[in-house]
Chains A and B, each alone.
Chain A
Amino acid sequence: MRILVTGLGSFWGSKVAQRLESEPGVELVVGVDTQEPVVPLEHTEYVRADSSFSILERIVRATKVDTILHTHLIVDSTKDSERALHEINVIGTMNLLAAAGAAGSTIRKVVLKSATLEYGSSYDDPYFFRETMHRSHGPKTRVERSLLEAASVVGDFAEDNPHVTVTKLDFANVLGDHVSSPLARMLRLPVVPEVFGFDPRLQFVHEDDVIGALAFATLRDVPGVFNVAGDGTMPWSEVCAIVGKRRVPMPPVLTSLAAEPLRLLRLVELPPEVLALLRYGRGVDTTAFAQAGYQYGYTTAGTVDAFARGLRLQTTVGQPEYRYERDVENFFRHSPAVVRDGE
């Protein structure tokens, strides 16, 4: 198996590449990104490329990869500008799939990492979205719109290329020791914001399950769209109780205005889709992916508990950081001085 990973410079891309390169059936892992990997990698090749993936067709042709793992969909709207969101999520996915579907392409599998954010969060939602359901109202934010557009591009690609196994995994809100999702950032604050009078049902997936699920979908054939989330839902008040944080209410009217000072003070940014989530929550049905054979490591409650314990350790000892050393990595991979196994 020869795999191309997009978003290698992100936590997800790096971690999943690390997992895949140790798999016996995997011959080659190539990663593209604008940034360098954030974890040490044994033999994954890193190519610096812009996020619109214009050179991708050349890479695919040159390396003869058969699988693309697209982890580079932006779900957290606070990290990039609205324009960048559109460029990366929609145009990037389009270019990527164009390269994958080009004449003579060797690609036989495409796996994408998206989010249950696609379903939105509204008062008239069902309590558990199934993969076949649609969101209750049209998307209001740029990030939701771009994810939905990307999803429709993926759907078209799957229809036009029946010989390619296409899997789209929609992940619920992620918690873990390393992720910087909006909810994880909120829970790391000394006190945690809530919307007064609302206590939404939330569902979480642990970062290990995200990597596990991506690797699972890459190594096995599970075509289709799947929700990936820990079993069960939990109210926000209970999440804060387990993490051991006090809640501070924001007014239920003009909430985005009240959230503005928090952003200006650089405490936490609460974009509209997160404020909607803090009001109405979101739950998804997870039976399909479990029936496809994936075994979860964590339930929703387990995820929150693991996050709380990780947070306690981090507040005591801090977090180690990794810096990519290009010359060192190239030396170990390509220098004739290094004795490699099986040669």
Chain B
Amino acid sequence: MGSGGFTGAVSPEPIDRPLAPSVAWTDPAVSGGELVPVRRQPPVPDDDGLRRGDVDGWGRSERMRAVARRLYDPIYRRWFRAEWEGLEHIPAEGGALLVGNHGGAIPSDAPVVMHGIETELGRPVYGMADNLFRLVPVVGTLWSRTGGVPAHPDNAYRLLHDEQQLALVFPEGTKGTGKLARDRYQLRRFGRGGFVEIAMRAGVPIVPLAVIGNEEAMPIVYKASRLARLINVPYFPVTANQFVFGPLLGLVMPLPSKFRIRVLPPVYFDAAPNQERYNRSQVMDQAERIRTHIQEALYEMLRNRRSVWFG
């Protein structure tokens, strides 16, 4: 909209403004001075009993999520045998931004983390991911119903600040999932530090997560970059899984690597929330610090790992 800035245009942060006094329909000041009986107040909007489904404003359905959890539970427990350390660092209430390392051609870290936190802590987790998902019929809808949200800064802000939810992001994005097997657990650039800025603006802590097992669940041995460009996807991988499970099943089926997730102590920021802008160098410093924390935790966890498959 080209007209956002005109006289008395709405402030960008309407949330903190005090509520305007509620007004009767016929305000004496407007209607010329004489007092008239106030007209019937509009009915108070109430959705009770009107809804047929349970899809929330983010497209997530708790019922669909429960079905997904039931289906995913054997994969989580028996296939990946996921184990957590430091779950107590995830706040039991209030918003927090979970930040993890990303790996594997089709990354299993997101569903494992979401499933783990939801089953262990009973809190919903919204997984922020590339909006390219939304372009794909059926997949996009299922992804959205099971807790996927496009990684738009305003979506993250609303989830964290307005709704005080847990949101999960992988700042490496497709640079993390698209790396070759020989680069596994070498963290890529953490975007432009946008995730730190969002957490500062929303006034919530960042909880860093170090995940191992995700890279070996679907390692990339070769990338067909020209084909990827042709069909307009970030990368087109040939995975080790395709040699094990065949070219088609190998596209979606992960290897049974042992998953370990370590939750690092939350990072709180010394910055006022709801600012228009934040100091660039402070944001970049914090982003780099969190990245280093996760990288060091990964190295330590890998030092202690005796076997890729048995941990």
Cβ contact within 8 Å between A126 and B152: yes
Cβ contact within 8 Å between A212 and B42: yes
How far, in whole Å, are A238 and B64 apart by their CA atoms in the complex?
14
Of the candidates B3, B139, B149, which one forms a contact with A225 in the assembled complex, judged by CB atoms under 8 Å apart?
Answer: B3
Given contact pairs A24-B34, A133-B154, A224-B9, A242 touches B137 in the complex (Cβ within 8 A): no
Cβ contact within 8 Å between B152 and A130: no
- A23 contacts chain B at the CB level, 8 A cutoff: yes
Of the candidates A166, A234, A237, A238, which one forms a contact with B6 in the assembled complex, judged by CB atoms under 8 Å apart?
Answer: A166
Nearest B residue (CB) for A299 = B45
Cβ contact within 8 Å between A296 and B42: yes
- B22 contacts chain A at the CB level, 8 A cutoff: yes
Cβ contact within 8 Å between B53 and A241: yes
Cβ contact within 8 Å between A224 and B7: yes
Of the candidates B8, B12, B32, B46, which one forms a contact with A24 in the assembled complex, judged by CB atoms under 8 Å apart?
Answer: B32
How far, in whole Å, are A148 and B3 apart by their CA atoms in the complex?
9
Given contact pairs A152-B2, A155-B5, A201 touches B57 in the complex (Cβ within 8 A): yes
Q: How far in angstroms is the closest Cβ of chain B from A102?
A: 19
Question: Majority SS of interface residues in chain B?
Answer: loop
- B174 contacts chain A at the CB level, 8 A cutoff: no
Cβ contact within 8 Å between B20 and A151: no
The residues in B between 95 and 139 inclusive whose CB is less than 8 angstroms from any CB of A are: 131-132, 134-139
How far, in whole Å, are A154 and B51 apart by their CA atoms in the complex?
38
Nearest B residue (CB) for A242 = B52
Cβ contact within 8 Å between B137 and A128: no
Q: Which residues of A contact B154 (CB under 8 A)?
A: 126-128, 130, 133
- A232 contacts chain B at the CB level, 8 A cutoff: yes
The residues in A between 294 and 310 inclusive whose CB is less than 8 angstroms from any CB of B are: 295-299, 301-302, 304-305
How far, in whole Å, are A201 and B155 apart by their CA atoms in the complex?
14
Q: Considering only CB atoms and an 8 Å cut-off, how many residues of chain B contact the other chain?
A: 57
Q: How far in angstroms is the closest Cβ of chain B from A163?
A: 10
Binds B, one of A52-60, A182-190, A262-270, A280-288: A280-288
Cβ contact within 8 Å between A126 and B1: no
Q: Which residues of A contact B14 (CB under 8 A)?
A: 130, 285, 287-288, 291
Q: Which residues of B contact A170 (CB under 8 A)?
A: 1
Given contact pairs A25-B30, A124-B150, A292-B20, A302 touches B47 in the complex (Cβ within 8 A): yes
Q: Which residues of A contact B134 (CB under 8 A)?
A: 123-124, 280
- B71 contacts chain A at the CB level, 8 A cutoff: no
- A318 contacts chain B at the CB level, 8 A cutoff: no
How far, in whole Å, are A297 and B45 apart by their CA atoms in the complex?
6
Interface residues of A, Cβ cutoff 8 Å to B: 1, 23-25, 118-119, 123-128, 130-135, 148, 151-152, 154-155, 158-159, 162, 165-166, 168, 170, 195-199, 201, 212, 219-220, 223-226, 230-235, 237-238, 241-242, 252, 280, 283, 285, 287-288, 291-293, 295-299, 301-302, 304-305
9 contacts between A and B (CB under 8 A): A24-B31, A24-B32, A159-B6, A195-B137, A197-B141, A232-B47, A295-B41, A297-B42, A302-B46
